Structure 1
Amino acid sequence: MNHKRWRVVPAIIATAIMSFAGVLIETSMNVTFPTLMAEFNTTSATIQWVTTSYLLALAIVIPLSTFLVRNFSIKTLFITANLLFALGVLLDFLSPSLLVLVLGRIIQGVGTGIALPLMFDIILNYAPKSKRGLMMGIATMTTSLAPAIGPTYGGLMLSLFDWRRIFLFLLPFLVLSLFLGVDGIGYESHKRGEPFNFISFLRLAIGLSTLLLAIENLSWFLGLISLISFGFFYRFNRNKPILNLTIFKNSQFVTGLFGVLAIQATVLGLSFILPNYLQLRLHVSAALSGLFMFPGAILVAVLAPLSGIIMDRFGPYRPILLGLMLMFIGMLLTTVYFSRASFMALLMFDVVLMMGVGFAASNLMAVALSQLTKSEQTDGNGILNTLQQFVGAMSTTIVASLFSTFQGTTGGNLGVLLLLIVLTVASVLFMFKGRQMRI
């Protein structure tokens, strides 16, 4: 698997380690909020910026990745991302104040925002087509494990040491990632030096950041600012595009993209509904409800590479359709029996659903991007990764609002019903369009 002095597998593993570390810290820090509030003598609203600042940096940088990949070598981008992430980790480990902690999180968000799309870009451009499904499965395996392990890792560090060790223990893995990346990523002889459309980027950054804040705070005012900013971005982006928006004219790409986003919404929406419902209605302990999602995450990690191998051999339609049907069955059972199912029944429904995610998620991402031309895939990759961040935030916010507004069981029922509808639409679209898609 060499390509012009490339060693593709070590290169993918190097970027996967960084992506894994970024998602791991994002979820592991949530369990430290009470400790941080006491140490820095601040409120929960203020301490929430430890996560919000990271997500804002991520949301702004990921769309910029398309411009970066077009104009800088992948090795340069990888080393920059790794060193930025390591700098952020060191700042957070040593942080004497909340301001320094948030600054470190922003720098980590910039590093992750470069590394996450870079991992998929390497797969699309340098992995052989005959191994693309397997490589996408490996990439998905790393990012699906991190959210499940994060709270456990954070709680363990907090109970055995202190919250600062959450950052310190990642440094050896970042060093390993740096060595693997420097060794595996090949040199590219030429890159374009196109001018940077700063005005367009500024409008996009304002639009994305205000949209994320609007979703988190359910603010119509911020949503309106975001909409206006996106309008200006569309106007200024046409002459010197940062993102090639014409790819949305490709109906097969849009079908695959909608499927990926529907899966993201379903998984993250359920990861809020089920643990909260288990605690409030079934009176399950916080520790056990936190572990509820773990079997499904492990199943996704195991099945993603396996399903990629199946796609490489038999094509994308059958494994993706099987995955979507398993997800539909698991989601339908959850919706129908939600208010009267036991802990074990809900766990079995979730296992069926996550088995479907293992077959469909990474394959659907690979096949969606494969519908684009080689010159369009970098833009598609950046757009897909950006929208995943926002759909995840939107899904969590909507179901949390339903959960709190309609109190417990009713809110949970409405939440899972909404996710079932989204998943059904994605499944039907793929049934009609999927046969035309080729990897």
Structure 2
Amino acid sequence: MKTMKTKEWHVLAAVIAAGLMSFSGVLIETSMNVTFPHLMEEFNTDANGIQWVTTGYLLAIAVIVPVSAYLLKSYSVRKLFVTANVLFLIGLLLDSWAPTLSILLVGRVFQGVGTGIALPLMFHIILTKSPMSQRGVMMGIGTMTTSIAPAIGPTYGGILLSSLGWRSIFWFLVPLLLIALVLGLWSIPAENVTRTERFNWGAFVTLMIGLSSLLISVEKMSWQYLLISIVFLGGFYWFNQKLQLLNLSVFKNAKFDALTYSFLVYQATLLGISFVLPNYLQLGLHVTSTQAGLFMFPGAVIGAILAPLSGRILDQIGPRKPILFGIATSATALVIMSVFFPILSFWTLLLAHMLLMVGTGLSYSNLMTVTLGSLPESQSADGNSILNTLQQFVGASATAIVAQIFASNVDLHAHGVVLGSQYGVALIAILMVISVIVFLGVKKYLPKHA
């Protein structure tokens, strides 16, 4: 691939422009959860039908993100950015008007494709355009845009639903996407890119069906869909060997594998906790949906403030101390939550969540920085594509698994809301404790200093 620079990059503005699209995508994903009862009534459907509002969006991301490495090698960043923004805007306009569930789902798919392009694009800009001395803080700014969205989504959705109706959730994001478009056009220069690779349609189609079936198998706990996913993912592996769509050789790097686990645990934690706590607060502690949404906000602010600051710390003293301290802090908060969950009040639970977000802010974005930094530059786009694919899939799967644990206990026990929430948090806590152990094993291979 040959590129020719034609004018100056404005990296921070470009990252923010792409980040606004990623933020909008995650914000809608989490804010729509509070609208499901209203949508089921309005469109005369059940929970299985309405869940596709989220599942369809996640499937679109899961399908597009894996081909981001090919897109980044074949098209300029500016063209990809504009394409993602326009597709997202089309999706917003469709959903802000949607008279039927089918049109609503089509709009969600457009938003998923836009987000699926924008998310790896943002990290590609950071990894290829920001100076090494500022990479940590830039990665912190990038992840801040997406990590705060799950926490404020329920509040945003609840307030607009009760005051202006569910369609306003989409209307209010149209100006934000237009701002992102203008900012991106100003900050991202036009570059000529020579396409040198053919697109592997066989690998793309089999991967699309395989990932879709795997996600559905997790959501429905279905062995049939699991078997379908295994068959098609096997087909993807066969096609991918003949003409590479994803460079799977990145998994031969043990350091990349270990750091990827720790990063994905945080993705599972953020989305799993954003499901458990608002539901427990409403059903177990009987607070309003607005109060449950606002409960998540202090932690979100802490995480958002610490993300770029922790990146600055990484740039100055290296990755070992901030990441280890962050993971250990998060593990401590989750263990406290899971052990003492039945006796925690609204306020003590709030303090535990804030402690969790302190750990998240210190380590989440830094983990992505060192995970992608563990690969040689020639594999950067492939690692970015694979990591973002796994990030979306793990987030969706974690939500589905925690929801299953929550729902099954609610059905079986008189105190099922408490037990379901406690078991869901306990599962996440176990994964985070394992993450501490895994990071201790790989820590010695990371640089001591920046």
> TM over 0.5, yes or no?
yes
Aligned to 1:304: 307
Whole-angstrom CA distance in 1 between matches of 2:103 and 2:284 = 40
Give, in angstroms, the shift of residue 146 of structure 1: 1.4
Query: Could you tell me which amino acid in structure 2 is paired with residue 6 of structure 1?
Result: W
Whole-angstrom CA distance in 2 between matches of 1:417 and 1:100 = 39
The alignment's TM-score, normalised by the length of structure 1, stands at 0.95
* Pair 1:421-2:448 in alignment: no
Give, in angstroms, the shift of residue 3 of structure 1: 10
Give, in angstroms, the shift of residue 4 of structure 1: 5.8
Query: Could you tell me which amino acid in structure 2 is paired with residue 413 of structure 1?
Result: Q
* Pair 1:50-2:59 in alignment: no
Q: 1:70 to 1:278 in 2, by over 3 A?
A: same
Aligned residues: 438
Aligned to 2:76: 73
Cα pair 2:152 2:296 within 8 Å, conserved = no
Whole-angstrom CA distance in 2 between matches of 1:280 and 1:61 = 36
Map 1:352-367 onto structure 2 (within 5 A): 352-367=355-370
Q: 1:276 to 1:163 in 2, by over 3 A?
A: closer
Query: Could you tell me which amino acid in structure 1 is paired with residue 174 of structure 2?
Result: L
Whole-angstrom CA distance in 2 between matches of 1:75 and 1:353 = 37
Whole-angstrom CA distance in 2 between matches of 1:419 and 1:158 = 30
Whole-angstrom CA distance in 1 between matches of 2:276 and 2:366 = 26
Whole-angstrom CA distance in 2 between matches of 1:300 and 1:169 = 24
Query: Could you tell me which amino acid in structure 2 is paired with residue 423 of structure 1?
Result: M
Partner of 2:349, secondary structure, is: helix
Map 1:375-414 onto structure 2 (within 5 A): 375-406=378-409, 407-414=416-423
Q: 1:414 to 1:234 in 2, by over 3 A?
A: same
Query: Could you tell me which amino acid in structure 1 is paired with residue 307 of structure 2?
Result: A
RMSD: 1.8
Cα pair 1:5 1:187 within 8 Å, conserved = no
* Pair 1:433-2:442 in alignment: yes
Map 1:264-283 onto structure 2 (within 5 A): 264-283=267-286
Aligned to 1:176: 179
Select 1:237's aligned residue among 221, 237, 240: 240
Cα pair 1:154 1:163 within 8 Å, conserved = yes
* Percent of aligned pairs with the same amino acid: 52
Q: Per-residue displacement from partner, 1:98-120 (whole Å, max 9, x unpaired)?
A: 21121111111111110011001
Aligned to 1:148: 151
Map 1:114-133 onto structure 2 (within 5 A): 114-133=117-136
Aligned to 2:298: 295
Query: Could you tell me which amino acid in structure 1 is paired with residue 140 of structure 2?
Result: G
Select 1:263's aligned residue among 249, 259, 266: 266
Partner of 2:343, secondary structure, is: coil
Aligned to 2:413: none
Whole-angstrom CA distance in 2 between matches of 1:7 and 1:278 = 43
Q: Per-residue displacement from partner, 1:214-253 (whole Å, max 9, x unpaired)?
A: 1111111101111111111111101211100000011111
Whole-angstrom CA distance in 1 between matches of 2:417 and 2:34 = 22
Deviates more, 1:286-295 or 1:200-209: 286-295
Partner of 2:193, secondary structure, is: coil
The alignment's TM-score, normalised by the length of structure 2, stands at 0.93
Q: Per-residue displacement from partner, 1:305-359 (whole Å, max 9, x unpaired)?
A: 1001000111111110110111121112112212222222221111111100000
Q: Per-residue displacement from partner, 1:48-89 (whole Å, max 9, x unpaired)?
A: 222221111111011111110011111111111111111111
Q: 1:277 to 1:32 in 2, by over 3 A?
A: closer
Give, in angstroms, the shift of residue 274 of structure 1: 2.5
Q: Per-residue displacement from partner, 1:340-388 (whole Å, max 9, x unpaired)?
A: 2222222111111110000000000011000111121111111111111
Deviates more, 1:421-430 or 1:201-210: 421-430
Whole-angstrom CA distance in 2 between matches of 1:236 and 1:151 = 41
Partner of 1:339, secondary structure, is: helix
Cα pair 1:73 1:191 within 8 Å, conserved = no
Aligned to 1:26: 29
Whole-angstrom CA distance in 1 between matches of 2:153 and 2:293 = 11
Q: 1:265 to 1:74 in 2, by over 3 A?
A: same
Whole-angstrom CA distance in 1 between matches of 2:14 and 2:220 = 38
Query: Could you tell me which amino acid in structure 1 is paired with residue 427 of structure 2?
Result: L
Partner of 1:395, secondary structure, is: helix
Structure 1: where are the runs of 5+ without partners?
A: none
Cα pair 2:85 2:114 within 8 Å, conserved = yes
Give, in angstroms, the shift of residue 19 of structure 1: 0.9
Query: Could you tell me which amino acid in structure 2 is paired with residue 271 of structure 1?
Result: S
Partner of 2:385, secondary structure, is: helix
Cα pair 2:320 2:446 within 8 Å, conserved = yes
Give, in angstroms, the shift of residue 159 of structure 1: 2.7
Q: Per-residue displacement from partner, 1:138-194 (whole Å, max 9, x unpaired)?
A: 111111221222222222222332322222222222111111111111233333331
Cα pair 2:152 2:293 within 8 Å, conserved = no
Whole-angstrom CA distance in 1 between matches of 2:12 and 2:323 = 24
Deviates more, 1:362-371 or 1:181-190: 181-190
Query: Could you tell me which amino acid in structure 1 is paired with residue 432 of structure 2?
Result: L
Map 1:181-200 onto structure 2 (within 5 A): 181-200=184-203
Q: 1:103 to 1:280 in 2, by over 3 A?
A: closer
Q: Per-residue displacement from partner, 1:253-287 (whole Å, max 9, x unpaired)?
A: 11110010111122222222233333343333333
Partner of 2:342, secondary structure, is: coil
* Pair 1:253-2:262 in alignment: no
Partner of 2:232, secondary structure, is: helix
Q: 1:128 to 1:416 in 2, by over 3 A?
A: same
Deviates more, 1:347-356 or 1:275-284: 275-284
Whole-angstrom CA distance in 2 between matches of 1:427 and 1:173 = 38
